[in-house]
Structure 1
Amino acid sequence: MKYRKMAPYAAVLLALAPMISVYFAHSLILHLLACIWGFLVGLLYYQYMKRQNEKERKRLLDSFQRTATATLGHHRHDWMNDLQILYGYIQLGKHDKLVHCVERIKERMNTESSISKLGIPALVFYLQSFREVNGSVHLDVEIEEGLQLGDLLDDGQAEELTDAIMDTIRAYQFTGRSSWGEILELKMSMYTEDREVVVMFEQDGNCGNAEMLRQRIEETVQGKRIKAGLTGSPQSSFELRIPC
């Protein structure tokens, strides 16, 4: 990445150096050669950047495919576990536990369905693949029935809200835990209130550094059309609000 940032400067220097050197030379041939040299440098730089952009695009696509594949693998593993549990309860005749298991599966299906209907592709993919990417945080998502953010927010607002949600969860991940070894239990609720989209975060248990968490969350919304604030007690509960 460091060398890629230096490439434009190197190209400009290579193109201008011969032109500057022949500026004081009153020779038509030297001026022509300098122009040809500058053209060749520009052409080579264009080819170089094209290859670099293609490599970056392929790297991002590979990363996306790996994450998507791993996410689907986790979902398949969860469904297989649930089916095995259901089959076991059926064999043992434990109908009371069978009903509880079915209700739990139904609740998870409703949550996944609500996430998929949010209407912001980047946010949907982030939430659906969260467990694969963030093993140190257990995120419990609760979404208001029928909430479709794609119909309430413009593209700019949707991008700002997605970034703010990701940065807020990251703030909890790095400042909300009392020790690096523990799994952070975090609940995120999304709903509308007073013509605003509200995203509330509630941490289960003690917060590692409440003041630092507050500062980091407030920093995430600077320059955005999003308000962040405490929701009361405990000090680790925050909400994001954006007009819709």
Structure 2
Amino acid sequence: MSRLSSIKLYAAASVLLPAAAVLIWRSEHWLLAVFVAWSMLAAAVWIKAERKEQEQRHARMTHALQSASVRTLNHHRHDWMNDLQVLYGYIRMGKTDRMVQYVEQIRERMNEESKIARLGVPSLIAFIQSFRTLTHSLQLDVRIEGELNLTELPIDSERFAEAIMELINLYRFAIKPSSGEAAKLSLAFEREEKALLVTFRLNGELNDPAQWQQGWKQRVRGSGLSAAGAEQSPACLHLQAKLAH
């Protein structure tokens, strides 16, 4: 328990003593005045400690977001340096055809990142963009068919986004460590007329597939997502969110 939490607990508990005195010696009116004054003082201490605790939580959250942003920017900078080195190598060797192909790959990657940035829910966007900074055992690849803004759909976009992040983390923490290449998780969004389809595909192994089966069902509860098909497995999880009009 933190120091501020202890202060709040002691402030609340301290009211019990004058309260008990008032109940025992009911004829002593001065005790009632002491109880009221004591309660007001305890409330002031509790409120001050609560505000300080909120300030500390906000400071920790801000620091965590700033650190995640810096790590994400560093990863993007590293990617761009790699791209420039590859292109420079093709230029020096005169392989213009390979250079054109590589530029096209960069363009496709930038297009996908642009689609992710337009998903409409900041928490989900930041989570996907910074995922590489969270783990080295699982690679995440996100594909979005067409244009998609979750806030423009007739769903609870915040709860939907929360479920998607929880499902990704379910894979992240359940993945079996490997000495070789990292496992790969692909996430695809496809909007149809009456539903938004979400598909997870895993190239890798989990520590406990049975626990994963229970986990994904818990995480989609109340999110608007449901199974799209009879059988679901870690290798291929098909979900859908019906779009009611």
Question: Amino acid of the residue matched to residue 75 of structure 2?
Answer: H
> Partners in 2 of 1:235 and 1:33 — Cα distance?
64
**Alpha carbons of structure 1 residues 34 and 206: separation in structure 2 relative to 1, 3 Å:** closer
Structure 1 equivalent of residue 40 of structure 2 = 39
Segments of structure 1 that go 5 or more residues without pairing to the other structure are: none
Is residue 2:191 matched to residue 1:213? no
The aligned counterpart of 1:201 is 200
**Is the Cα contact below 8 Å between 1:150 and 1:158 reproduced in 2?**
yes
Other-structure match for 2:99? 98
Query: Could you tell me which residue of structure 1 aligns to residue 66 of structure 2?
Result: 65
Q: Aligned partners of 2:202 and 2:136: how far apart in 1? A: 16
Question: Is residue 230–residue 237 contact of structure 1 (8 Å, CA) maintained in 2?
Answer: no
Q: Structure 1 residues 134, 48: closer, same or farther in 2, change over 3 A?
A: same
Matched AA of 2:215: R
Structure 2: unaligned runs, 5 residues or longer? none
Checking the alignment, whether the CA contact within 8 Å between 1:176 and 1:208 is kept in structure 2 is: yes
Tell me the distance in 1 between the aligned counterparts of 2:20 and 2:227.
54
Deviation sequence 1:202-222 (CA, Å, 0-9, x none): 112455543332221112122
TM-score normalised per structure 2:
0.88
* Contact 2:12–2:46 (Cα < 8 Å) also in 1: no
Q: TM-score, normalised by structure 1?
A: 0.88
Other structure's SS at 1:172 match: helix
1:88-134 C-alpha deviation (Å, 9 max, x unpaired):
21121111221121011111100110000111111111111111123
1:167 match:
166
Instruction: Provide the secondary structure at the position in 1 that maps to 2:23.
Output: coil
Matched letter for residue 69 of structure 2: A
- The answer on whether the counterparts of 1:190 and 1:199 sit within 8 Å (CA) in structure 2 is yes
Contact 1:198 1:239 in 2 (8 A): yes
In percent, how many aligned pairs have the same letter?
Answer: 32
- Give 3-state SS (helix, strand or coil) of 2:119's partner: coil
Contact persistence 1:118–1:149 (CA under 8 A): yes
CA RMSD, 1 decimal: 2.4
Aligned equivalents of 1:29, 1:184: Cα separation in 2? 71
Aligned to 2:24: 24
Aligned to 1:191: 190
CA distance 1:221–1:233, change in 2 (3 Å): closer
Q: Secondary structure at the match of 1:22?
A: helix
> Equivalent residue of 2:45, what SS?
helix
- Local SS of the residue matching 1:139: strand
Could you tell me which residue of structure 2 aligns to residue 12 of structure 1? 12
The structure-2 alpha-carbon separation of the partners of 1:118 and 1:90, relative to structure 1 and needing over 3 Å to count, comes to: same
CA separation of 1:29 and 1:44: change in aligned 2, threshold 3 A: same
Output the CA distance in 1 between the equivalents of 2:137 and 2:4.
33
CA distance in 2, matches of 1:143, 1:134: 22
1:31–1:181 distance in 2 versus 1, CA, 3 Å:
farther
Deviation at 1:3, TM superposition (A): 6.6
Distance 1:4 1:160, change over 3 A: farther
For 2:19, give the aligned amino acid. Answer: M
User: Do the aligned residues in 2 keep the contact of 1:221 with 1:228 (CA within 8 Å)?
Assistant: no
Look up the match of 1:225: 224
- Quick one: structure 1 residues 8 and 233, their matched pair in 2 at CA, closer, same or farther if it must change by over 3 Å? closer
Indicate conservation of the 8 Å contact 2:167/2:219, yes or no: yes
Cα distance between partner residues in 1 of 2:82 and 2:11: 57
After superposition, the Cα gap between the structure-2 partners of 1:30 and 1:191, relative to the gap in structure 1 and judged at 3 Å, is: same
Structure 2 counterparts to residues 24-173 of structure 1, below 5 A: 24-25=24-25, 26-154=27-155, 157-173=156-172
